[in-house]
Amino acid sequence: MDGINYEKLAASFFRRKNVLKIASELPGKLLVTRFGASETIGRIVELEAYNGVLDRASHAFGGRRTARTEPMYAAGGIAYVYLCYGIHHLFNLVTGEAEAPQAVLIRGIEPVKGIPIMLERTGKSKADSSLGRGPGNVSKAMGISTLHSGWSLLNNDIFIADDGYKVPQQKIITGPRIGVDYAGEDALLPYRYYIKDNPFVSRVKKNK
């Protein structure tokens, strides 16, 4: 449709046990949202894995289980959206089996389709590199909010798709996660994946 051919990823993709394996395959995939007549598509360029109860940076660390984190304990293939700073909605993909609270946080996308809609949602006037950079902007541009937490990624409202785009292996970089200094040694784990030289990947420091 509209010149973009893509295939929705099936539940089997999300339900594998190894969240790192799933995370390593996500760069270059498409994040699609369809709310009413508004379809927006962004290519995933940056993400972080959260490895269940062992991961201090995860909301589910130590087996904590509350109404908010409940979606993380479900089987993979649904969305987990939480609010941070009272303003930003962060979008996660739940992976793994039921009772294994693993998730992947989408930190950055490259707008592919529906850019005027994204501009309207974010209140921006032109599509610069800040449109899909940073987890708060991702959900804002895609129209995702905490209302969508627990939604299935197998329906036609929100889903992940593959359009055949392949990211060269040498352009997929792994490194420490961002904003998880409080996680102690876990903050050093290379659970962050991003595409090298992509302007929509948040950078610690500008270099030029």
Partner DNA sequence: TTGTAGATAGTCT
Partner DNA sequence: GACTATCTACAAT
Site string for DNA, 11-50 (x = CB under 7 A): ----------------------------------------
CB environment 74-107: b (16+ within 10 A), e (fewer): bebbbbbbbeeeeeebbbbbbbbeeebbbbbbbb
One-letter identity of residue 205 = K
One-letter identity of residue 90 = L
Q: Does 179 bind DNA (CB under 7 A)?
A: yes
Q: How far is the CB of 99 from DNA (least distance, A)?
A: 17
* Strand segments (E) across the chain: 7-8, 30-35, 38-51, 78-84, 88-95, 102-113, 158-162, 172-175, 192-195
With CA atoms as reference, report the closest residue to 136 among 162, 167, 106, 176: 106
Cβ closest to DNA, residue 34 vs residue 68:
68
Contacting range for DNA; rule: CB under 7 A; set: 14-22, 38-46, 66-74, 184-192 = 66-74
Identified binder of DNA from the candidate list 20, 24, 39, 83, rule CB under 7 A: 83
Identified binder of DNA from the candidate list 24, 34, 136, 172, rule CB under 7 A: 136
Q: Does 202 bind DNA (CB under 7 A)?
A: yes
Q: How far is the CB of 136 from DNA (least distance, A)?
A: 3
One-letter identity of residue 119 = L
Q: Does 64 bind DNA (CB under 7 A)?
A: yes
Cβ closest to DNA, residue 8 vs residue 88:
88
Beta bridge partners of 152: 78
